[in-house]
Structure 1
Amino acid sequence: MEKRKLQVGLIALIIVGNIATGITPALAKIGNAFPDVGRSQLQMIVSIAALLSFLASLIAGKLQSVFSQKVVVLGGAAFLGLGCLPLIFHTNFTFLLIISVFIGGGSGLMTATIPALIARYFEGDARTAMLGKKTGFQGLGTMSMTFLGGVLAVYGWQYNYGIFLLPIVAFVLGGILLPNDPVLKVVKAEEVVSASDGRKFKVANVNIILLLTLAVTLTMLSSTLSNNMALHADIKGIGDSSVSGLALSCYSLGTILAGFVAGHVVKRLKSRTLLVSYLLMASGLLIIGNWHLKVGLVGGALVFGLGYGSVMTRLLYLITSLLKSTSVPVGMSLFSALTSLGFALSPMLMNGVAGLLSDNLATTSFLVALGFALGIAVFLLVTNVEKKLVTRIA
């Protein structure tokens, strides 16, 4: 019963953790409401939130050595809840930028702390299953909040911010259902370190650095898909924005499905989970880049999403299982920050390479990403690194 309450509380927080994306459907209407605001200033509503999410992710691990994990994650939900204030005060653009600071900070604290909370209360297969649910519900939350934000924006851009009432609900549920855990610094001082924990790594270990590097490359591949889908569909005459939107929705669907079945997938693939998942991503990119029909775009995006969700869940499991218990918060802070960094750097790196090969950056970027994914798959096959790490956990 206690585990069920914990799961419900975590899922409520997971769903709203990436709610910041729900602002984007209202940007055009916000621009119309503030005609004196330039395009670059308008985009700061999103970019400031992204920057603060990155910075909050970096400090989340340190905060967990001072405050309990429950306090940190609920603090993040409270900051997100402040995002509903433009429902009342919506005549000042500067105020919207200030609200973006709280939204980004809250999102960063939550996304960095929730995996550490899961690692604290779940072990083995149960951890894989719960991390899979995190991937699934996070994707479901992102997709549904963006859709809901768009629907609300129809009635006025300020109503788009109504979605930030939901973190307040999650804050209440989390406050009631999450256990009152002690501060990690106290745990470190008082708990006897187990023999298995003594065999585990600190964040600076080469194995952890390798897994964090894979996490960066994962979001670089994801960013390539998201940023180039619409342009690729237009250049190749596949369809308009509705088609690319459908393809991106199928990508999200694949991620969600992969998260929910992660436990079953790992039981079957075992130490080949990462290899097969990267090959799935490569297959999706191959289909999108070469099959210039709607079914290719949609089907390739779905396959890519299945691989992406599997890799994300597996990396979270491996990192949290290989780190010493007191190093998990810092590890998850770095994971959250570095994956955000990978997403941001991808356009510059992937398009830079694609520009050396072709003038059609969008389509060529998919093929560059394909080569990248295959290169990682070859590395995993040759080094057999996943099997070695799984053996270390066992």
Structure 2
Amino acid sequence: MKLSARIALLFLAVTAPFAPMLAAPAIKLLKVDFPDTSSLLIQWVVTLSSLFIMPTLLFASTLAKKISRKSILIVGLVLYIIGGIAPSFVNSIPVILVFRAILGLSIGLISPTFNALIAENFLGDERTRMNGWVTAINGIGGAIFLSIGGFVASFGWRSVFLSYSYAIILLILVVLFLPKFPPVQVQGAKSTSTAKIPAVFYLVALLSGLHILLYFTIPTSLSLYLAEIGVGTASSVGYFSAISLFSIFLAGLAFPMLTRIFGRFIVTFGIVLYGLGFLVESYATNVWMIAIAVFLIGFAQGLFFPMSFTKTAQLVPKERLTTAISILLACIYAFQFICPIFMNAVLSLFGFSSTRDTFLIISILLGVSVIVSILVSKRVQSQSARVAESK
């Protein structure tokens, strides 16, 4: 694949899993302008698109067999531009949510298509590097746009949605530089019927959803949490989200090296970072503690995200990759959507009066997960050693 095509493909990463959170700086401002609207409904301005990603994900693999992947990406980007920018011109939360749904439909076309192209066109260490670069580009791109979003939030929430205009540049890059990849070629009825997605993949998909749920507490709950503890301003959530995305960028760059260093314990390392992040966040009293917390949480997410796609490409037969990636993304986006529901449910279930208590409970559960992860990793290591000895 030519360098120009690789660049165009990589830049599509910023339209994917973290695109919904670009609206995060608008949450507090929307609450002020629409005081009679419930907090949950306003939080859905960030996460509703994640729910509507799934309808297009369900038939993404079918489309890939009939239409060139370049055409799918172009249609997806046009819808992305409409769904992203249009909320700037309306005066109703329900109408804003309609356009956020259109944004979700567009991501459901774009995300599995470009992830499948990476899985199909790169192998081994090169695939690991590309997935790391995707995460890095996603992080640094999101950090830049969220920083801009945090700045333009001072001009009102409408300006925040205008930050989605960057997708016009991505559309131009795809039209000019991305090859017209043909539809997915089916090798024959027999091969498609016998090629199965292994059961362990569904565990990977579920765990991927759980770690994205943890990360999405930043764009969905941080704004209200900052107001609750009296830290920061309306623009602060944009800057803190940008810090988390910058740490994702760093983790994406370091992912291949850290994978070699930690081996099977890379998952344990990521859980430790997540746990520390939520622990610091639960005791935060100033902007510096919040900044450290979101940096740790972002770095952990930057390790888990490429790990999910690399593992999927290793486990699933090539002819089922688009379907498997669609399922993986469906889990990721479903858990994005339920994140605010989860946070509100924990508050109600335990009778907490503060989000601070929820963050503390999450950190304790992650501490337990660290112990489980270590035990599982040691067991797998010992089993591998016994297999090697038997040979």
TM-score bucket of the superposed structures, by smaller chain: 0.7 to 0.9
Deviation at 1:75, TM superposition (A): 2.2
Shift of 1:109: 1.6
Name the structure 2 match of 1:11: 10
Deviation at 1:375, TM superposition (A): 3.5
2:238 and 2:84 map into 1 onto residues whose CA distance is: 27
1:368 and 1:124 map into 2 onto residues whose CA distance is: 38
Equivalence for 1:337: 330
* Mapping for residues 82-231 of structure 1, pairs under 5 Å: 82-83=82-83, 86=86, 90=89, 99-149=99-149, 162-184=162-184, 186-189=185-188, 202-203=196-197, 205-231=198-224
Deviation string for 1:344-363 (max 9, x for gaps)? 22333354345454523411
For residue 54 of structure 1, what is the aligned residue in structure 2? 54
Aligned to 1:278: 271
Query: Would you say the 8 A contact 1:318–1:389 is kept in 2?
Result: no
Counterparts of 1:28 and 1:241, CA distance in 2: 6
What is the CA-CA distance between 1:296 and the residue it aligns to? 2.5
Shift of 1:273: 1.3
Shifted more, 294-303 versus 125-134: the winner is 294-303
Query: Match of 1:261, SS?
Result: helix
Cα shift at 1:229 = 3.1
Equivalent position amino acid for 1:326 in 2: E
Q: Is the 8 A contact 2:205 2:331 kept in 1?
A: yes
Deviation string for 1:16-51 (max 9, x for gaps)? 445454456567888999x9x974788876665343
Deviation, structure 1 residue 388? 10
Distance 2:384 2:292 in 1: 32
Q: Does 2:247 align with 1:248?
A: no
For the residues of structure 2 that align with 1:280 and 1:144, how far apart are their CA atoms? 23
1:100–1:131 Cα change, 3 Å:
same
Shift of residue 95 of structure 1? Answer: 7.5
> What is the aligned partner in structure 1 of residue 294 from structure 2?
301
Counterpart Cα distance in 1 of 2:163 and 2:223: 26
Contact 2:46 2:219 in 1 (8 A): no
* 1:276 counterpart letter in structure 2: F
> Displacement of 1:306 after TM fit?
0.9
The CA distance in 2 between the partners of 1:296 and 1:92, in whole Å, is 36
Q: Is the 8 A contact 1:354 1:368 kept in 2?
A: no
Contact 1:16 1:170 in 2 (8 A): no
**Distance (Å, rounded) in 2 between the aligned partners of 1:92 and 1:245:** 22
The one-letter amino acid paired with 1:104 is G
The answer to whether the Cα contact below 8 Å between 1:22 and 1:148 also exists between their aligned partners in 2 is no
For residue 207 of structure 1, report the CA deviation from its aligned partner.
0.9
Q: Cα deviations across residues 347-394 of structure 1 (Å, max 9, x unaligned)?
A: 333543454545234112112222332343333322238769999xxx
Structure 1 counterpart of 2:389: none
Q: Which runs of 5+ in 1 are unaligned?
A: none
Q: Tell me, yes or no, if the aligned pair for 1:238 and 1:292 is still in contact at 8 Å.
A: yes
Q: What amino acid does structure 2 have at the position aligned with 1:74?
A: I
User: Are the equivalent residues in 2 in contact too, given 1:76–1:107 (CA < 8 A)?
Assistant: yes
TM superposition score normalised by structure 2:
0.80
Closer/same/farther in 2, CA of residues 358 and 22 from structure 1, 3 Å limit: closer
Relative to the length of structure 1, the TM-score reads: 0.79
Separation in 1 of the partners of 2:382 and 2:311? Answer: 11
| Contact 1:285-1:304 within 8 A present in 2 as well | yes
- Evaluate the alpha carbon distance shift between residue 166 and residue 386 of structure 1 in structure 2; reply closer, same or farther with a 3 A threshold: farther
Cα offset, 1:244, TM superposition: 5.3
Whether 1:322 aligns to 2:315 is yes
Question: In the alignment, which residue of structure 2 is the partner of 1:265?
Answer: 258
Shift of 1:178: 2.5
Counterpart-to-counterpart distance in 1, 2:95 and 2:229: 42
> Contact 1:148 / 1:163 at 8 angstroms: preserved in 2?
yes
Give the distance between the partners of 1:42 and 1:288, measured in 2 at CA.
23
Query: Using the alignment, how far apart are the partners of 1:366 and 1:275 within structure 2?
Result: 19
Q: Work out the CA distance in 1 between the residues paired with 2:325 and 2:203.
A: 14
1:250 Cα offset (Å): 2.3
Please say if residues 267 and 304 of structure 2, whose CA atoms lie closer than 8 Å, have aligned partners that are also in contact. yes
Q: Per the alignment, do residues 239 and 152 of structure 1 end up closer, same or farther by CA in structure 2, a change over 3 Å counting?
A: closer
Unaligned runs of 5+ in 2: 386-391
Verify the 8 A CA contact 1:61 1:332 in the aligned structure 2: no
Q: Which residue of 2 aligns with 1:313?
A: 306
Amino acid across the alignment from 1:300? A
The separation in 2 between residues aligned to 1:152 and 1:3, in whole angstroms, is 36
Q: 1:241 to 1:90 in 2, by over 3 A?
A: closer
1:54 Cα offset (Å):
3.1
Which residue of structure 1 aligns with residue 388 of structure 2? none
Q: CA 1:386 to 1:164, structure 2 compared with 1: closer, same or farther past 3 Å?
A: farther
RMSD after superposition: 4.0
Deviates more, 1:354-363 or 1:116-125: 354-363
The 8 Å contact of residues 52 and 101 in structure 2, kept in 1 or not, is answered as yes
Report the Cα offset of residue 202 of structure 1.
3.2
Q: 3-state DSSP class of the match of 2:187?
A: helix
Contact 1:212 1:335 in 2 (8 A): yes
| Contact 1:289-1:366 at 8 Å conserved across structures | yes
Contact 1:13 1:171 in 2 (8 A): no
Q: 276, 283, 293: which is aligned to 1:290? A: 283
| In 2: Cα distance, 1:362 partner to 1:235 partner | 8
